[in-house]
């Protein structure tokens, strides 16, 4: 068993760190436990019980909800986010400091990762969305989540039900940003660009698809 | 009544001794010297006032003008009551004596824009310091996103003294000007003999001074919108004048010793503005390097420095999930119903 907190597998490290973020190095080192037992025995004191393993719910990152602008809405609410993040698990959420629902501009940008660890999800205009024809690939992806597509005057009209839009938002947008965070955070270069944009996007999309299949 | 004291520490050049005396007289300061190099015999005709340690001990505050680590900027420095103040300027090559530097209350430095020419002539530096100290510091240096856009064009109306002109050119380069127009009616800069040329270039530190000097004749007309003519004779106060008008503004500095103050300068610009350096004293000689350095220092303060970006200059990466737009292939989407109606 590794005594170092840095070389343990990610799942174990994330679960431990999320529950005990300020624990010093070597806190659960068996050598320290044995040393304290020997000391207690020499002094004739009863042995101190071993600390219980971490249990219970791990703390979620901070979720900040700002009011959307008039005529716009947040596809997923704060409670949707908290439930979804708990389903994602510690390994996916480890290192995320906050998830914020913010006012955005236009229809182009859905979400953003501000390194290190801040995920922003922007409000969107109420349905139907008017997409340019050149966004047909994106429209087809939306249709896979239950959106209805119509064509009108050189535009693609995308109509959503609230549940479909929420699923799209959580599985497509939020997981994509978590994928960016995963790549940036666990390379240890939280504030530097560590891959080309194209590779970063591809890795984030792949992570999102992989995790989405497991949820 | 005691006057503030300008102290030259180890000054080597007798010409600088006289120039320091004129700088002090310009602002009604007294002037004295500490001889560290045993050069009294070389100064026979300069006749300086020798100072002892007791003279310095009685001076409060005791200020030093030196590019030392931790020196405060001269711009915006307020010294308080100057009646017993002392300002020390150091040797031309080695600066102020280190032991004396430890005894001063505060060290001041004039911010330089050039890295290659980063000092002024000692008398010019003293004059600039006395100007700001006498005015209670003036304001701090300006900060602009693009300070070079505010820098006026420099026009030096030179006189008969090549060393004065050379020192003024050195000040211009040190304070950030990369080009200057020079009117040289007496021929002491362009087309002069070898000795004059050598001394003038030495005063300008031409070896590391990359300023471009454009010769201009006295009859030339310039296309500037405004010309600010700086002198000690007449005009609005220098501290209240705007000297950061950009390339459409000409900063004109005239050698008052050899030029008439009433000279017609309407050929310089569409609009003429006279600016006066507020100096209460009357020096024995009006020196071009002192006037020029003070005007250039004030203009450099108003032109300012680039606004520092600080932490906002560093932007960590951000990753967007945005709408993916494919390349525009032209054409138009047509529904089946529209196709059937066609």
Which percentage of chain B shows pLDDT scores above 70?
91
CB-based contact (8 Å) between B99 and chain A?
no
Residue A126 has what DSSP assignment?
A: P
Pick from A109, A135, A151: CB nearest B335: A151
Nearest chain A alpha carbon to B330: A134
Q: What is the pLDDT of residues B174-190, one digit of tens each?
A: 999 999 999 998 899 99
| Burial environment of residue B45 by CB neighbours within 10 A (0 to 12, 13 to 18, 19 or more) | exposed
Compute how many other C-beta atoms are within 10 angstroms of the C-beta atom of residue B80. Answer: 9
| Residue contact A133–B333, C-beta within 8 A | yes
User: Which member of B320, B324, B335 has the closest CB to residue A135?
Assistant: B324
Name which residue leads in pLDDT, B135 or B42: B135
Interval B125-149 mean pLDDT? 89
B218: distance to nearest CA of chain A, Å? 59
CB contacts, 8 Å: B321 with chain A: 109-112, 172-173, 176-177, 204
pLDDT at B328: 45
Its ipTM equals 0.76
Residue of chain B with shortest Cα separation from A183 = B319
Model confidence over B45-90: pLDDT tens digits?
666 788 887 788 888 889 999 988 888 899 988 888 888 899 999 9
- Asked if B322 reaches chain A (Cβ–Cβ under 8 Å), the answer is yes
Place of tokens 């002090």: B24
Asked if pLDDT for residue A205 goes beyond 70, the answer is yes
- B319/A108 CB distance under 8 A: no
CA distance A159 to B139: 61
**Is residue A135 pLDDT above 70, yes or no?**
yes
To test the contact with chain B by mutation, choose from A130, A138, A190, A198 the residue with the greatest count of B C-beta atoms within 10 A, namely A138
State the nearest Cα–Cα gap between B307 and chain A, in angstroms.
24
Looking at chain B, which residue has its C-alpha nearest residue A105? B322
Measured CA to CA, the distance from residue B257 to residue B39 in angstroms comes to 29
For residue B148, count other CB atoms closer than 10 A to its CB.
Answer: 13
What pLDDT shows up at residue B150? 93
> What does the pLDDT read at residue B179?
94
Number of CB atoms found within 10 A of residue B298's CB: 27
Nearest CA in chain A to B318: A114
pTM beyond cutoff 0.80: no
Residue A83's contacts (CB-CB under 8 Å, 6 or more residues apart) are none
Q: Name the minimum distance, in Å, from the CA of A157 to any CA of chain B.
A: 12
**B95: which 2 tokens?**
């600066």
Sort out which chain A residues have CB atoms less than 8 A from B322's CB and list them: 108-110
Count CB pairs under 8 A between chains A and B. Answer: 70
In chain A the first and final C-alpha atoms are separated, in Å, by 30
Q: Per-residue pLDDT for A167 more than 60? A: yes
Chain A nearest CA to B340, separation (Å): 15
Q: How far is A135 from chain B (nearest CA, A)?
A: 5
pLDDT of res. B233: 85
The whole-angstrom distance between A86's CA and the closest CA on chain B is 22
Task: Check whether B329 has a pLDDT greater than 50.
Answer: no
CA angle B253, B258, B264 (to 5 degrees): 60
Nearest to B267 by CA among B214, B212, B217: B217
Regarding predicted confidence, which is higher, B1 or A112?
A112
Question: Do A133 and B322 count as a contact with CB atoms less than 8 A apart?
Answer: no
Mean pLDDT of chain B: 86
| pLDDT of the residue at A102 | 93
pLDDT at B342 over 90: no
For residue A110, the chain B residues in CB contact (below 8 A) are: 320-323
Segment among A39-48, A106-115, B83-92, B300-309 with least mean pLDDT: A39-48
The mean per-residue pLDDT over the stretch B242-255 comes to: 93
Q: What are the φ and ψ backbone dihedral angles of A123, each rounded to 5 degrees?
A: -70, 155
C-beta of residue A97 within 8 angstroms of C-beta of residue A118: yes
What is the DSSP code (8-state) at residue A171?
Answer: I
A173 chain-B contacts, CB cut-off 8 A: 321
pLDDT at position B81, please? 84
Average pLDDT, chain A: 84
Q: Quick check: B321 and A116 CB within 8 A?
A: no
Residue B250 predicted with pLDDT over 90: yes
Nearest CA in chain A to B325: A135
Instruction: Give B230's pLDDT tier (boundaries 50, 70, 90).
Output: very high
With CB atoms and an 8 Å threshold, state whether B321 touches A156. Answer: no
Measured CA to CA, the distance from residue B7 to residue B59 in angstroms comes to: 11
Find the CB nearest A114 among B318, B321, B327: B318
């Amino acid at each position: 068993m590794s005594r170092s907190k840095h070389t343990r597998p990610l799942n174990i490290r994330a679960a431990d760190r999320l529950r005990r973020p300020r624990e010093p190095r070597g806190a659960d080192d068996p050598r320290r436990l044995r040393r304290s037992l020997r000391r207690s025995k020499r002094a004739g004191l009863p042995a101190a019980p071993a600390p219980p393993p971490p249990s219970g719910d791990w703390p979620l990152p901070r979720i900040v909800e700002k009011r959307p602008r008039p005529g716009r809405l947040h596809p997923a609410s704060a409670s949707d986010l908290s439930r979804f993040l708990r389903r994602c698990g510690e390994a996916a959420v480890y290192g995320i400091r906050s998830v914020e629902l913010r006012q955005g501009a236009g229809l182009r940008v859905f979400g953003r990762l501000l390194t290190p660890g801040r995920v922003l999800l922007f409000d969107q205009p109420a349905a139907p969305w008017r997409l340019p024809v050149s966004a047909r690939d994106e429209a087809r992806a939306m249709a896979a989540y239950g959106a209805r597509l119509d064509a009108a005057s050189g535009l693609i009209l995308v109509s959503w039900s609230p549940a479909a839009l929420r699923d799209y938002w959580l599985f497509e947008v939020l997981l994509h940003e978590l994928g960016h965070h995963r790549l940036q955070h666990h390379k240890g270069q939280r504030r530097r660009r560590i891959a080309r944009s194209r590779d970063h996007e591809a890795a984030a999309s792949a992570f999102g698809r992989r995790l989405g299949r497991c949820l | 009544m005691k006057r503030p004291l300008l102290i030259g520490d180890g000054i080597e050049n007798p010409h600088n001794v006289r120039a320091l005396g004129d700088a002090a007289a310009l602002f009604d300061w007294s002037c004295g010297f500490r001889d560290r190099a045993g050069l009294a015999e070389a100064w026979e005709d300069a006749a300086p006032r020798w100072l002892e340690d007791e003279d310095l001990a009685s001076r409060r505050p005791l200020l030093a003008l030196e590019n030392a680590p931790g020196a405060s900027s001269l711009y915006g420095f307020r010294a308080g009551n100057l009646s017993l103040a002392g300002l020390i300027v150091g040797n031309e090559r080695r600066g102020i004596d280190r032991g004396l530097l430890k005894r001063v209350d505060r060290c001041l430095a004039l911010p330089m824009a050039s890295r290659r020419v980063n000092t002024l002539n000692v008398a010019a530096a003293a004059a600039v310091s006395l100007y700001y100290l006498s005015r209670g510091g003036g304001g701090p240096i300006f900060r602009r996103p693009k300070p070079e856009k505010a820098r006026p064009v420099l026009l030096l109306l030179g006189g008969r003294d090549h060393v004065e002109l050379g020192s003024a050119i050195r000040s211009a380069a040190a304070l950030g000007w990369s080009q200057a127009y020079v009117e040289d009616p007496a021929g002491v800069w362009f087309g002069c003999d070898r000795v004059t040329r050598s001394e003038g270039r030495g005063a300008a530190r031409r070896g590391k001074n990359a300023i471009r000097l454009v010769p201009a004749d006295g009859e030339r007309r310039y296309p500037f919108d405004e010309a600010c003519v700086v002198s000690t004779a007449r005009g609005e106060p220098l501290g209240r004048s705007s000297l950061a008008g950009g390339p459409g503004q000409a900063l004109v500095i005239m050698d008052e010793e050899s030029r008439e103050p009433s000279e017609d300068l309407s050929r310089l610009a569409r609009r003429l503005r006279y600016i006066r350096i507020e100096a209460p004293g009357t020096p024995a000689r009006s020196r071009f390097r002192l006037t020029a350095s003070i005007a250039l220092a004030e203009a450099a303060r108003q032109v300012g420095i680039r606004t520092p970006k600080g932490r906002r200059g560093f932007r960590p990466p951000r990753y967007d999930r945005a709408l993916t737009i494919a390349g525009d292939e032209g054409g138009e989407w047509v529904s089946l119903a529209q196709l059937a109606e066609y």
